[in-house]
Copies of this chain bind each other. A is one copy, B any other.
Amino acid sequence: MNPLEPKEFRRQGHMIIDFLADYYQSITNYPVLSQVEPGYLRKLTPSFAPLNPEPIEAILQDLQQHIIPGITHWQSPNYFAYFPSSGSTAGFVGEMLSTGFNLVGFNWVSSPAATELENTVMDWLGQVLKLPKTFLFSGSGGGVLLGTTCEAILVTLVAARDKILSQIGIENIGKLVVYVSDQTHCAIQKAAHIVGIHSKNFRVINTMKSTSFALMPEPLLSAIHTDVQNGLVPCYLCVTVGTTSTTAIDPLGLLCKVANKYGMWVHVDAAYAGSVCICPEFRHLIDGVEGATSFSFNAHKWFLTNLDCCCLWVKDQASVINSLSTHSVYLENNASDLKQVVDYKDWQITLSRRFRALKVWLVLRSYGVANLRDFLRSHVEMAKNFEELVRKDKRFEIFVPRNVAVVCFRLLPSAVAKIGNGRVQDGHVTTEDVANEINRKLLDSINGSGTVYMTHATVGGVFVIRCAIGATLTEKTHVIMAWKVVQEHADAILNH
C-alpha cells in the first residue's frame, strides 16, 4: 500500500476533476435546498468502518446516490440564501495545490514560501482595497489569512482585552465592555463569552428602520457615557460593513471618532461587503477605516476564494503577537530568534495552518483586479434588476434600501390582509403578524420546490425574505427566473 503512489493519484485525481466538472454542468438538476429528512443518512451507511479497501468507483457511486441528495448546492446558480460561498477554478486550483503540498506553515522556517506569499497577497489585497498604509506590511501594520471572521474577531478581541488589562489588572476583567449593534453578527457575542467578558457588559445598541438598521454614533456615545460613569471600561467596538440580515452599513468614520475618544479597539467586520470595496464606486463604504484598529473580510464569501479564507489586517502587530505568541523549544530557529520573519502562529488561535495564500494568489492573478471588479459589479446589477422586478409587483415591498447585492423584500401586509382577516378582526393577531406568517409560508413554499433557495431575516419584528446574489454561476436569467418562482408561489398562497 502506497497511499501517494503517483499513478493512482493521477487516476483518481483526473476522475474527481471530471466528476466535479460534470457536477457543475448538471448542478441545476438538483434541488438547491436538500429535501432530505433528519437522520436520512444513518439508514444508508453501514454501522462500522470497512475493514478492507473499497474501490473509488464504489465510493463515488455512494457519493452520488447517498451524499449528494443531502447536499444543499451552494454553487448552484439558483442559490440566493445567506451569503454566497464563492467558488472558482482559481480558488479550487489554489486549494488543490495547498492540499497537495500539505505543508504546515506555523512559522516561517516550517515553509518560508507559505509565510512570504501570505505577506505578499495581504499587501496586494490591502492595496486593492485602498487600506491605509498603517494596515500593510509595506507600512507599519500587516495582514493574516484566517479561516473565518469568527477567528478574526476572537484574535482581535483577545488583543484588545489584554491591552487594557495590562493597564488595569486582570482582576478587573469584569469591567470591560464590548459594544455592538443589534444587527452585529453573533460571532462577536460568542467571542466575548470565550474571552471572559461578562455577559452583562456585552452592550447591544438598538438600531432602527429609519436609519436602515445601521449603528448610530449617538446611542453608542450615550451607552459609553453611562458605562464610564458606572466605573466600567470601554474595550472593543465591532463596526459592521454589510450586516448579515440586511447588509446595513455602519457609519465607520463617525463611530471610530466616538470610540477613539475612549481608547477602544475598533474592529471593522466587512465579512460580506468588503469584497466589493475593490470597486472605486463602492470604496466609500469603508471610508473612515483609517480610524479603526483592525479590518477583516471573507474572501470565501464573495471573492471567488473557496472556503475557508478570512483576511484580517491589524495596525499594531505587537498587540496581537503579545496576546497570542507562544514559545516552544521545538519550534526555535535562527530566523525567528533574529526576528527577521513573520511567524503566523502568533497571529492566530491555532498553531497549525494551511497554505491559504496560494488560492488568494491564484484568484488575483487568474482573474486580475479589473475583471474581479466587473464580476462583482455584475452581481450588483443583477440585484438591482431583481429589486426592480419586486418594485413592479404592488403586492410586494422592498423592505430596506439595497446597499450591495442583497435584496430584502416581502409581501405587504395589505396584500395578505384577506387571509388573516378573521383573526385580525377577532383581535388575536395584528396585520403585521399575518404578514410575517404568510411571508414565512411563502419562503418555505419557494424553498420546498427546490428550484431556488433564499433565506430570511427578522428585523424590527418584520420577517423579510432575502435574495443574496453572488453565486459564481448566477446569471441574469437565473435572477429573472427566481423572481418568477417567488411570484408563482405568492399567487398560489394568496389565491388559495
Contacts and interface: CB of A to CB of B under 8 A. Distances in A.
B89 A95 contact: no
Interface stretch (A215-223, A328-336, A394-402, A414-422): A328-336
Contact of A38 (B34, B154, B308, B341): B341
Contact of A349 (B91, B349, B466): B349
This chain's copy number in the assembly: 2
A85 B59 contact: no
Nearest to A157: B194
A4 B88 contact: yes
A409 interface: no
A209 to B, nearest CB: 16
A2 interface: yes
A50 B13 contact: no
B96 A13 contact: yes
Interface stretch (A116-124, A281-289, A383-391, A424-432): A116-124
Interface in A141-192: 147-151, 154, 158, 170-171, 173-174, 185-187, 189-190
Given A13-B20, A25-B6, A48-B124, A329 B458 contact: yes
B54 A127 contact: no
A52 interface: yes
A147 B352 contact: yes
A117 B71 CA distance: 11
A321 interface: no
A195 B198 contact: no
B327 A186 contact: yes
B97 A20 contact: yes
Interface in A100-129: 100-104, 108-114, 116-117, 119-121, 123-125, 127-128
A41 interface: yes
Interface in A239-264: 244-245
Contacts of A101: 23, 71, 73-75
A71 B113 contact: yes
A370 B51 contact: yes
A483 interface: no
Nearest to A197: B196
A247 to B, nearest CB: 12
B158 A194 contact: yes
A14 B12 contact: no
Interface stretch (A227-235, A359-367, A484-492): A359-367
A94 B70 CA distance: 17
Contacts of A193: 158, 323
A321 B198 CA distance: 18
Contact of A3 (B7, B88, B100, B150): B88
A151 B104 contact: no
28 contacts: A3-B89, A3-B367, A3-B375, A12-B93, A13-B17, A13-B21, A33-B109, A38-B340, A41-B117, A53-B365, A70-B111, A70-B114, A71-B101, A71-B103, A72-B103, A74-B104, A75-B102, A85-B102, A85-B104, A87-B100, A91-B99, A92-B99, A99-B307, A150-B352, A151-B349, A154-B194, A186-B328, A307-B354
Given A1-B371, A45-B117, 19 more contacts: A4-B87, A13-B93, A17-B17, A17-B96, A19-B97, A38-B108, A53-B367, A59-B361, A59-B362, A68-B113, A95-B95, A147-B350, A147-B352, A158-B193, A158-B194, A170-B198, A186-B328, A329-B456, A332-B456
